[in-house]
Structure 1
Amino acid sequence: MAKDLYPQTSSLRIRRGIWQGIWLCCLGVVLAAGFNGIRVSGSIPWAGQWPIASAEDIAEISLREAWSRFQEGTTLFVDARDPLSFKQGHIKGAWNVPPGEAGRSFDEIRILAQAGLVVIVYCDGAACPLGPALARTLQQRGVPSVRVIADGWRQWRQAGYPVEGGER
């Protein structure tokens, strides 16, 4: 019976496996960074370089001006909240376009905006990032005349302006 030329204890095997895993991860990171740097279409931005949509980047509209435009019929209201919140209540005639699902409605919204409607995006809460994020996305996709009502849903309800429930 041949003896094992390299006797290994189980702890040595475990340590060796851990080091091999660490080296494979390091190699993966180096290869990914290298390929990202030589991409023909340009490198993909690292986490800290993604653009951040903020209320300062988007033109705001006052509640009074939004109400005036609502009465004139020169506005498309876009609710950036989730579908369940939208079904529970929204500005009368508003469309529900959560930022993650905006691709389905871009063409329709762009056509209406190019025909002269002002697109007013809103969500719920003064710190809600969904409205500015959706407005930024719409602007980047070529939708003209996009505005945001900060804390729009709460303000609209408190003012007693027309609301409805259900889907668009």
Structure 2
Amino acid sequence: MRLFNKSLLVEMALICLLAAVLGFAWNHQLLYNAWTGKATATSPTRNAPVAQGGVPLPAGLMQVKEFYDRKEAVFVDARDGTAFAASHIIGALSLPLGETEVKLPQFKAKVPQTTLLVVYCNGYDCHDSMDLGKKLLLAGYRTVFVFEGGYPEWKDAGYPVEGGKP
């Protein structure tokens, strides 16, 4: 007795062919865009979640790097001015938690409240970024992420940093 007969093999081939045709038909636009080099993913800022309950949204290294590469967010350094001056993520703005009351009006004048913000500090043990994120939400910003790994994780990954002035 043969394990496979011709009709069974033909049926299996037809099922596979039908599955492939349906897959291509269903995903034709995505496949066409990928083949022609057009963007295939929607921008995270269009569908970015809004922080609920006054608590900023957590973000990991990969998500933060994507925001950075696409220039979709303003990075906010919650560390003190000395740490910022020594080194920070390129393009980040300094808004130390301890100086929020003084510097927040200038920050609000520079950065529209519709802007996606990524707040960071000195890593997982530093809570300044979470506290600053809460203050930014209270100030009217709607989309605030806290980069939990902060500056140390960014630098350790070899991503762009620079020295600057607070």
Instruction: Please indicate the TM-score interval, normalised by the length of the shorter structure.
Output: 0.5 to 0.7
Counterpart check, 1:121 vs 2:119: yes
The structure 2 residue matched to 1:84, chosen from 64, 82, 88, is: 82
Cα separation, 1, equivalents of 2:72 and 2:106: 16
Number of residue equivalences: 112
Query: What is the letter of the counterpart of residue 59 of structure 1?
Result: L
Indicate whether 1:157 and 2:152 are aligned.
no
In the superposition, relative to structure 1, how do residues 69 and 108 fare at CA in structure 2: closer, same or farther (>3 Å)?
A: farther
TM-score (normalised: structure 1): 0.61
1:44 corresponds to: none
Structure 2 unaligned spans of 5+: 1-53
- Taking the TM superposition and a 5 Å limit, the aligned residue runs for 1:4-15 are none
Higher Cα Rg, which structure? 1
CA distance in 1, matches of 2:106, 2:60: 25
Q: Is the 8 A contact 2:89 2:162 kept in 1?
A: yes
Residue 137 to residue 152, structure 1, CA distance change in 2 (3 Å): same
Among 62, 71, 74, the residue aligned to 2:72: 74
Alignment partner for residue 62 of structure 2, among 64, 72, 82? 64
Aligned counterparts of 1:123 and 1:148: Cα–Cα separation in 2: 9
Residue 92 of structure 2: aligned partner = 94
Decide whether the 8 Å contact of 2:80 with 2:97 is kept in 1.
no
Please say if 1:132 is aligned against 2:130: yes
Counterpart CA distance in 2 for 1:121 and 1:92 is: 13
SS in 2 for 1:57: coil
Using the alignment, how far apart are the partners of 1:58 and 1:89 within structure 2? 24
Moved over 6 A (4+): none
RMSD across aligned C-alpha pairs, in angstroms? Answer: 1.9
3-state SS of 2:159 partner: coil
Q: Which runs of 5+ in 1 are unaligned?
A: 1-55
**In structure 1, C-alpha distance between the alignment counterparts of 2:60 and 2:68, rounded to whole Å:** 12
Matched-pair contact (CA < 8 Å) for 1:75–1:120: yes
The separation in 1 between residues aligned to 2:155 and 2:112, in whole angstroms, is 25
